[in-house]
Structure 1
Amino acid sequence: MTRIDAKFAELKAAGKKAFVAYVMAGDPDYDTSLEIVKGLPGAGVDIIELGIPFTDPMADGPTIQAAGQRALEAGQTLQKTLDMAAEFRKGDDSTPIVMMGYYNPIYNRGVDRFLADAKAVGVDGLIVVDLPPEEDDELCIPARDAGLNFIRLATPTTDDKRLPKVLQNTSGFVYYVSITGITGAGEAQAADVAPEVARIKARTDLPVVVGFGINTPDKARAIAGIADGAVVGSAIVARIGQGEPVDEVLDFVRGLAEGAHSA
């Protein structure tokens, strides 16, 4: 059982939904980013998605693209992102960390080396948005064999024919993308998302969490109410990009978490 499995079991036993927060590692700089990440569990975050900055983030909207650029300009690397996870683990051995990004930095490091290093620093799962199920031998299956969850995205265009392929080697949870397009575009509507979540849950026992288009506590509550949890990324990253103090960013996160937990 991974920390992700344990967290969902704990939440289910308590009758609560998950709140998942995404931040870009190294944004706006290493020290500030680490301070934010360390503060997330205290603000109510159940699972942390830690973005790996990349030069060509094709699935991300302007907000997260800008965050990745800030992080890269401040000197963030894949190694420093692993270092950040290791520093976080010194004070927290229970909150799951999912590293989210693109395959190129992992490929350049070497899959075996990356997986060994990620496991050693306490990473629990991976979301790699540009590796489809047809490429499972590249990273998904080796990650599973190394004891890491490989979390797949399902989208509004994932039809009943495609869905079994998407679910095939997925573990930890399924991330349902509520809207078609890039991050930060549009707003999630619970009425539209509910039947899609039900369709996925009919095919898997894994928790289904919903992300994209969630930017207020009320929206987090509405989406968590029809799924197993809600993910917020762009709305948090935007505040970091605006230079908000760490405590104000964490206060905003706390409100979102309370919304999801009250579902």
Structure 2
Amino acid sequence: MSSRFHSNRMMNTYEMARNRNEAMIVGYFIAADPDLPQAINIAAEAVAAGVDVLEIGVPSPNPFLEGNIIRRGHQRVQQLSPDTRDLTIRYCTQLRERVDVPMWLMGYSQDIVDSGLYRELADKQVIDGLVLPDAPRNVLTEVEREVGSQGVDVVRLVHSQMDQDELRETVSGATVLYAQLYTGTTGDFLSQSNDLNQLYTRVRSLSEAMVVAGFGIRSAERVREVTSGGYDGAVVGSAYVAKVERGEMDSLYQLIADMKIAARRPGKLLSK
């Protein structure tokens, strides 16, 4: 089933995690935050500490779906340079020279699709995935048709408030699914997880795609809770960006290492 991926890096990462009987850690960092050289080193060290997939946030002048922690990160990069598109290209290109893990480009349609940024980075064979939370289904389908042959997977978002028909339509043909554990902005301290397992069960009944879960994951205990429920990976964003903001690098890498340990599954491999 791993052949369903467009990205060979994603396929290999998924299979290696399965062979090690563990879930993946998807770590979100904002491109060039707090500055270009530091940001590249931070992401490379994060991979060394245990991050399996890097989700790269594209700096936006209007990150309207983000919480305060990530918004401040976007603002820090906006203050570095008015041309954040070029800064993002330099960041991703230089980071690719340092790491060989999958890299997902995450951001808003205006900053990624309308600007042609996704096409340029796909052409350079730098990215392996796209996360476009504000893009309608027809745009996702068109982008996927364009970049799939270049080894890029388009990640589709699902959440518990979708009815069965909407969920079925969203997961149809998907290679990677991102399950939002709550709706709203990122970094919500009051997020609820009552339907965490129920959402996984609903998605898995409709699709054999890789399914990762995100929003509100701040601790190793939370990673263990999510991945023990069957998810193939946990996406961590605000907790990492907050440590970058405070310059707490040792604490960041320790948190990643602790989360990676928590992602190990006991017993037999999970069947898909």
Tell me which residue corresponds to 1:149. Answer: 153
**Correspondence for 2:260 among 245, 257, 262:** 257
**Correspondence for 1:90 among 90, 97, 118:** 97
Tell me which residue corresponds to 2:129. Answer: 125
The 5 Å alignment of 1:121-200 reads 121-171=125-175, 173-186=176-189, 191-200=194-203
Question: How many Å apart are 1:84 and its aligned residue?
Answer: 1.8
Could you say what secondary structure the match of 1:174 adopts?
strand
1:22–1:104 CA distance, 2 compared to 1 (3 A)? same
Tell me which residue corresponds to 2:270. Answer: none
Question: How many Å apart are 1:169 and its aligned residue?
Answer: 4.5
Instruction: Say if 2:182 and 2:193, in contact at 8 Å, map to a contact too.
Output: no
Tell me which residue corresponds to 2:269. Answer: none
1:90-124 deviation line (CA, Å, top 9, x unaligned): 2333x11001011112244336xx42433414210
1:187–1:253 CA distance, 2 compared to 1 (3 A)? farther
Question: How many Å apart are 1:219 and its aligned residue?
Answer: 0.8
Question: What are structure 2's unaligned runs of at least 5 residues?
Answer: 1-5, 267-272
Instruction: Say if 1:239 and 1:249, in contact at 8 Å, map to a contact too.
Output: yes
Tell me which residue corresponds to 1:239. Answer: 243
Query: What's the TM-score, normalizing by structure 1?
Result: 0.90
User: Which AA in structure 2 matches 1:253?
Assistant: I
Could you say what secondary structure the match of 2:33 adopts?
coil
**Correspondence for 1:208 among 199, 206, 211:** 211
Q: Output the CA distance in 2 between the equivalents of 1:25 and 1:230.
A: 20
1:74–1:153 CA distance, 2 compared to 1 (3 A)? same
Question: How many Å apart are 1:262 and its aligned residue?
Answer: 5.2
Tell me which residue corresponds to 1:26. Answer: 32
Could you say what secondary structure the match of 2:165 adopts?
coil
1:170-206 deviation line (CA, Å, top 9, x unaligned): 32x2100001211011356655200111110111111
Q: Output the CA distance in 2 between the equivalents of 1:70 and 1:169.
A: 37
Q: Output the CA distance in 2 between the equivalents of 1:91 and 1:107.
A: 26
Q: Output the CA distance in 2 between the equivalents of 1:128 and 1:89.
A: 21
**Correspondence for 2:62 among 56, 65, 77:** 56
The 5 Å alignment of 1:60-79 reads 60-75=66-81, 77-79=84-86
1:66–1:169 CA distance, 2 compared to 1 (3 A)? farther
Question: What are structure 1's unaligned runs of at least 5 residues?
Answer: none
Question: How many Å apart are 1:56 and its aligned residue?
Answer: 1.0
* Count of paired positions: 258
Q: Output the CA distance in 1 between the equivalents of 2:71 and 2:131.
A: 17
Q: Output the CA distance in 2 between the equivalents of 1:180 and 1:211.
A: 11
**Identity of paired residues, percent?**
28
Q: Output the CA distance in 1 between the equivalents of 2:234 and 2:141.
A: 29
User: Which AA in structure 2 matches 1:31?
Assistant: P
Instruction: Say if 2:31 and 2:92, in contact at 8 Å, map to a contact too.
Output: no
Q: Output the CA distance in 1 between the equivalents of 2:140 and 2:252.
A: 36
1:137–1:180 CA distance, 2 compared to 1 (3 A)? closer
Instruction: Say if 2:103 and 2:128, in contact at 8 Å, map to a contact too.
Output: yes
1:187–1:19 CA distance, 2 compared to 1 (3 A)? farther
Could you say what secondary structure the match of 2:130 adopts?
strand
Instruction: Say if 1:83 and 1:121, in contact at 8 Å, map to a contact too.
Output: no
Question: How many Å apart are 1:83 and its aligned residue?
Answer: 1.9
1:5–1:119 CA distance, 2 compared to 1 (3 A)? farther
Instruction: Say if 1:36 and 1:250, in contact at 8 Å, map to a contact too.
Output: no
